[in-house]
């Protein structure tokens, strides 16, 4: 699978060429600047901490609040609006929560829209000046496969950065974990393995999970900003292989946003989205809310 993606990228290269530290000061309970936040809970009575990745994405469809631990345990919360208030979970609710280990393809997935699942999420404050959000959560989720449950209690997200259309990310101190994740037709793709190459003036970031892989190609000297992903340009390309027999390319309308490219520490982070289409005719795939962070 990995060789398949590499060989796919080779013609393009030849032809075209995440516990979080606090930066916020407390002044009589008024935090005065943006920085790292707290995001933690107890799961089955054990402490869980989003010490690998914190991701808050605001869109016209609402808000997605996600936390990932270093061992791969992820909590995802989706709310229909980004407003202060309490949101109730249930099988018929527009709010949604999920818990799973994204690094284990055989792990149970617990959701809030099945069986006896339920709970609440509260957004207690939104600081639109410093762009941070705080709140709490508690819920019991159900595994639809066997109706087993998992209890998430005493959940807190405290002064976690957010941005409209851009991911807020706070890696743990000294973190070097490479990450690539994206929603593919509404289903989360999280790369179990991320590889990055930088040669001939072109950088390739590729994430692999099971039979799927996602790749991004762009110039090595890319700077912060937003660029169109279009296979026809030969310089900025998105690739999605849902299985070894299908290759879908970004042919128009997609973008990659470089959040930072630190040439000193050699770490690059960014967001991306594109519609993957076959070169000829056939089904397409919509890749949204993509995020990557990798050392090169």
pLDDT tens sequence across 70-92: 888 889 898 999 999 999 998 88
How much is the average pLDDT of 272-290? Answer: 88
Please check the confidence at residue 100 and state whether its pLDDT lies above 50.
yes
- What confidence score (pLDDT) does residue 49 get? 92
The candidate with the shortest Cα–Cα distance to 160, out of 203, 119, 127, is 127
pLDDT bracket for residue 132 (50, 70, 90): confident
Least Cα distance to 258 among 212, 210, 294, 208 occurs for 294
Q: Are 231 and 196 in a shared domain?
A: yes
Are residues 290 and 205 part of one domain? Answer: yes
Residues 6+ apart with CB under 8 A from 121: 65, 77, 79, 86, 87, 89, 95, 97, 135, 136, 137, 139
Do residues 221 and 253 both lie within one domain? yes
As a whole-number percent, the residues of the chain with pLDDT over 70 amount to 81
Q: Which domain holds residue 189?
A: 2-17+177-295
- Summarize pLDDT for 174-191 with one digit per residue, the tens: 444 688 999 999 888 988
Of 3-17, 135-149, 166-180, 199-213, where does mean pLDDT reach its minimum?
3-17
Same domain, 109 and 35: yes
Judgement on whether residues 13 and 31 belong to the same structural domain of the protein? no
Q: So what's the pLDDT on residue 161?
A: 82
Report if residue 94 sits inside a domain.
yes
Residue 6 has pLDDT above 50, yes or no: no
State which of 105, 138, 164 marks the end of a domain: 164
Tell me how many domains the chain contains.
2
Please check whether residues 120 and 155 belong to one and the same domain: yes
Say what the pLDDT of residue 10 is: 27
Q: What is the pLDDT of residue 164?
A: 58
Q: Are residues 157 and 187 both part of a single domain? A: no
Query: Region 239-263: what's the mean pLDDT?
Result: 87
Distance CA 154, CA 87 (A): 16
Q: Cα(212)–Cα(198) distance, rounded to whole angstroms? A: 22
**Last residue within a domain, chosen from 164, 197, 222:** 164
Overall average pLDDT of the 118-134 stretch: 91
Q: Are residues 256 and 130 in the same domain?
A: no
pLDDT band at 150 (very low <50, low <70, confident <90, very high): very high
What's residue 46's pLDDT? 93
Tens digit of each residue's pLDDT (9 = 90 or more) over 46-77: 999 988 777 787 876 688 888 888 888 889 89
Give the model's pLDDT for residue 106: 74
Instruction: List the one residue out of 165, 127, 146 whose CA is nearest residue 272.
Output: 165
User: Considering the domain boundaries, does residue 137 fall inside one?
Assistant: yes
In a domain? residue 171? no
Question: Quick one: pLDDT at residue 131?
Answer: 84
Name the more confident of 122 and 36: 122
Predicted confidence at residue 172, as pLDDT, reads 43
Instruction: Look at residues 106, 141, 164 and tell me which one is the last residue of a structural domain.
Output: 164
Based on the domain organization, do 8 and 45 belong to the same domain?
Answer: no
- 42 and 155 fall within a common domain: yes
Q: Do 210 and 259 fall within a single domain?
A: yes
CA distances from 143 to 76, 110, 113, 234 (A): 15, 4, 10, 44
Q: What pTM, to 2 d.p., does this model score?
A: 0.51
Find out whether 97 and 76 touch, Cβ atoms under 8 Å.
yes
Provide the mean pLDDT of the chain: 79
For range 98-116, the mean pLDDT = 82
Pair (115, 142) in one structural domain: yes
Question: What pLDDT, on a 0 to 100 scale, did the predictor assign at position 228?
Answer: 93
Query: Is 169 contained in some domain?
Result: no
- The pLDDT value given to residue 5: 39
């Amino acid at each position: 699978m990995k060789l398949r993606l590499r060989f796919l990228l080779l013609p393009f290269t030849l032809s075209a060429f995440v516990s979080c530290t606090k930066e916020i000061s407390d002044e009589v309970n008024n935090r005065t600047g943006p920085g790292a936040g707290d995001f933690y809970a107890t799961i089955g009575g054990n402490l869980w901490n989003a010490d690998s990745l914190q991701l808050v994405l605001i869109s016209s469809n609402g808000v997605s609040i996600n936390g990932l631990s270093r061992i791969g345990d992820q909590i995802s919360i989706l709310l229909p609006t980004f407003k202060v208030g309490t949101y109730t979970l249930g099988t018929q609710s527009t709010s949604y929560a999920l818990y799973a280990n994204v690094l284990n393809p055989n792990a149970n997935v617990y959701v809030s829209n099945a069986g006896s699942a339920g709970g609440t999420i509260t957004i207690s404050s939104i600081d639109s000046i410093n762009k941070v959000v705080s709140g709490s959560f508690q819920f019991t989720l159900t595994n639809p496969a066997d109706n087993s449950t998992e209890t998430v209690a005493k959940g807190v997200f405290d002064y976690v950065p957010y941005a409209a259309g851009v991911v807020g990310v706070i890696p743990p101190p000294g973190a070097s974990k490479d990450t690539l994740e994206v929603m593919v037709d509404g289903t989360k793709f999280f790369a179990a393995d991320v590889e990055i190459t930088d040669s001939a003036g072109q950088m390739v970031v590729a994430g692999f999970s099971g039979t799927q892989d996602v790749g991004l190609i762009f110039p090595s000297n890319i700077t912060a900003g937003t660029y169109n992903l279009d296979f026809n340009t030969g310089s900025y390309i998105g690739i999605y292989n849902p299985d070894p027999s299908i290759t879908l390319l970004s042919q128009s309308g997609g973008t990659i946003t470089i959040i930072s490219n630190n040439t000193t520490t050699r770490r690059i982070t960014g967001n991306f989205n594109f519609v993957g289409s076959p070169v000829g005719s056939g089904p397409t795939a919509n890749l949204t809310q993509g995020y990557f962070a990798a050392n090169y």
